[in-house]
Structure 1
Amino acid sequence: MPIVDPRTGEPLSSPQVSPQEASTQPAADAAPLRAEDVIIELDASNIQQVLEASMQVPVLLDCWAPWCEPCKTLMPILEKLAIEYNGAFLLAKLDVEANPEISSQLGVRSVPDVKLVSQGGLVDSFQGALPEKQIREWLARYFPAPEDVPPSPEDQAAEALAAGDAATAREIYQQLVVQYPEHYAYQVALARALVAGGLTEDARSLLDNLPPEEREAPAARGVRASIAFGEQALSHAEIDAMQGRDDSEAQFQRALRQVADGDYEAGLESLLTLMKQDRGYNDDAARKMLLQVFDALGADHPLTVTYRRKLFTMMY
């Protein structure tokens, strides 16, 4: 069924499906649509047509206000996604200040407020200026992801960090922190990049300024652990100098370095192996370090759960 432009009543060029059908039907091959084909300004003159259009193609309703700074961050992302999804949904932008009656009818209480409407009814919604990656994940519940999507900033930062380019990761996360100051996961990720770049005091200061509940969350605790373990661990050069050694001291120091670098699974596995081989090493140092890592990660962390079980099995 073709999309009908709610402004003109004319069919658009790309046949689409509803959210309920999108997960089971492949995306249709179609020429790219223009911004004006998939993005409209919603007001009293066309709201009825938009609701009628939602019977044929889902409508993503972006409720915003001119004075709302988060709205200004969110809107360009939604516009980009609307074009990228090439007609899988229409993006209708509602200025709630200019259209208070419509806003009230839609139950908008704060902005930004994004609603997915299909078949004339509300399917789902989210509030606040979510980061692009989270919006993509939200859309993925209802629409097949478009092809050839460029890596998200989060993915680019993670790849840079994994490649040892802490400076690039730090720059990306700093931009994300500015864009989304209340998305504290970015501040924790920035702290991790700072630690990777040797800027541990900056990382500690950043973590100290998080809200209390975020400071004590597993992700932040993990970065603090990296800082603490990094202060205890030998440098990478010193670890490299141990190449060829397989005694208990060398194994312990390698494990500590892995934990300090944030490679917790490898570090925990190395510590558990050392316990099996030499339980008495340095007054049971491997077991004590395992417990410190568990405490740092938090009791509910998947690695804590897994390796507590392995530790219990080995000991009893």
Structure 2
Amino acid sequence: MPIVDPRTGDPLSTPQSEASAAQADPSQYIVDVDMSNFQQVVLEGSMQIPVVLDCWAPWCEPCKSLTPVLEKLAHEYAGSFVLAKLNIEDNQQIAAQLGIRSVPDVKLIMQGQLYDQFQGALPEKQIRDWLGQYLSAPQDAEASPEEQAEAALADGDSATARAIYEQLVQDYPDYHDYQIGLASALVGEGRADEARALLDNLPPEHRDAAKTRGVRARIEFGEEAPDAEEIAALEGRDDSEARFKRALRQVADGRYEEGLEGLLALLKSDRSYGEDIARKTLLRVFDALGAEHPLTVTYRRKLFALLY
């Protein structure tokens, strides 16, 4: 796995080959460090292979959830980095030299230098992204819980996504994206009131975040869309009202591409319908999906081409 210098993007040369890293003994890449081996493992060792230094303490509750995640990733990377665990309670001199003020404190040491660091018990996906700036992820890496939840939502399996997000919320109560993900799963299960209550209880800075607005938009689509009986009554109709209601139902059901296509077609044929409601609804769907979603990118471009 190539190791890159984040400041230049160039590969860093290391005496240890990928093959020997892959065959490393787990005891060699997850190590408890103290005064007796800190120099050898962290400072000298980082000249050959990156070292992730996990500074923790027995009384630190967040450390108890973070360290197992770091150990799991160390096993997955199979020797592409060494996880060095430093108990600051037993090694206060080292902690003072490192300037540790609170734990957990995680530092990335490469070529004998501090390259990056973070504090607090970050979720697994964020730690993976952090490592990914410097190391290529192992090809056989297991999907993180958040990735599994997102995949379940994409497959329409809201119950599985909800179960995963509930556990993530329990493990990381201060990471509010997981609460937003849980709200999204609740919407998929038809539990809009619970989802809305969850979003309403978010801190003010998260209540109007893009992801939150997206979930709220899905709740609103579900409330506005015609039910199955009304959709059945529209069979055989191809007027603007029928086309709009079908598109709205498709969006509410999570069939976004069909709904977007229907709204775009309605905009082409009858832009004046409902005081330009097709265009306005397209913008609401973009908000629900998020600016980076592939469908948002594609259909925003189509909308721009149609209008201008």
| Same fold per superposition (TM over 0.5) | yes
Alpha-carbon spacing, 1:207–1:44, altered in 2? closer, same or farther (3 Å):
same
Alpha-carbon spacing, 1:232–1:128, altered in 2? closer, same or farther (3 Å):
same
Alignment partner, residue 44 of structure 1: 35
- CA-CA distance at 1:58 after TM superposition: 1.3
The answer to whether residue 114 in structure 2 is matched with residue 122 in structure 1 is yes
Alpha-carbon contact 2:62-2:120 (below 8 Å) kept: yes
Alpha-carbon contact 2:176-2:206 (below 8 Å) kept: yes
- CA-CA distance at 1:110 after TM superposition: 2.1
TM-score (norm 2): 0.85
5+ long unaligned stretches in structure 1: 1-15
Q: Partner of 1:28: helix, strand, or coil?
A: helix
Alignment partner, residue 92 of structure 1: 84
Q: Partner of 2:86: helix, strand, or coil?
A: strand
Residue of 147, 151, 156 corresponding to 2:139: 147
- CA-CA distance at 1:247 after TM superposition: 3.0
Aligned-residue sequence identity (percent) comes to 63
Q: Deviations over 1:257-307 (max 9, x none)?
A: 233245556534432320111223344332343455567678x67777876
> RMSD across aligned C-alpha pairs, in angstroms?
3.0
In the alignment of these two chains, the number of paired residues is: 300
Alignment partner, residue 55 of structure 2: 63
- Give the aligned residue type for 1:175: Q
Q: Partner of 1:250: helix, strand, or coil?
A: helix
The answer to whether residue 239 in structure 2 is matched with residue 247 in structure 1 is yes
Residue of 15, 19, 30 corresponding to 1:28: 19
Q: Partner of 1:87: helix, strand, or coil?
A: coil
Alignment partner, residue 174 of structure 1: 166
Q: Deviations over 1:195-226 (max 9, x none)?
A: 00011111011000001110100100110111
Q: Deviations over 1:58-99 (max 9, x none)?
A: 111001122221111110011111122111111101112222
Alpha-carbon spacing, 1:176–1:102, altered in 2? closer, same or farther (3 Å):
same
Alpha-carbon spacing, 1:266–1:27, altered in 2? closer, same or farther (3 Å):
farther
The answer to whether residue 220 in structure 2 is matched with residue 225 in structure 1 is no
Q: Partner of 2:35: helix, strand, or coil?
A: coil
Alpha-carbon spacing, 1:41–1:153, altered in 2? closer, same or farther (3 Å):
same
- CA-CA distance at 1:45 after TM superposition: 1.6
Q: Partner of 1:60: helix, strand, or coil?
A: strand
Alpha-carbon spacing, 1:163–1:307, altered in 2? closer, same or farther (3 Å):
closer
Alpha-carbon contact 2:24-2:79 (below 8 Å) kept: yes
Alignment of structure 1 residues 4-23 onto 2, 5 Å: 19-20=4-5, 21=11
Alignment partner, residue 11 of structure 1: none
Moved more, 98-107 or 53-62: 98-107
- Give the aligned residue type for 1:173: Y
Alpha-carbon spacing, 1:108–1:276, altered in 2? closer, same or farther (3 Å):
same
- Give the aligned residue type for 1:36: S
Q: Separation in 2 of the partners of 1:194 and 1:136?
A: 26
Residue of 203, 214, 219 corresponding to 2:195: 203
Q: Partner of 2:62: helix, strand, or coil?
A: helix
Alpha-carbon contact 1:17-1:56 (below 8 Å) kept: no
Q: Partner of 1:41: helix, strand, or coil?
A: strand
5+ long unaligned stretches in structure 2: 6-10
TM-score (norm 1): 0.83
Alpha-carbon spacing, 1:282–1:121, altered in 2? closer, same or farther (3 Å):
closer
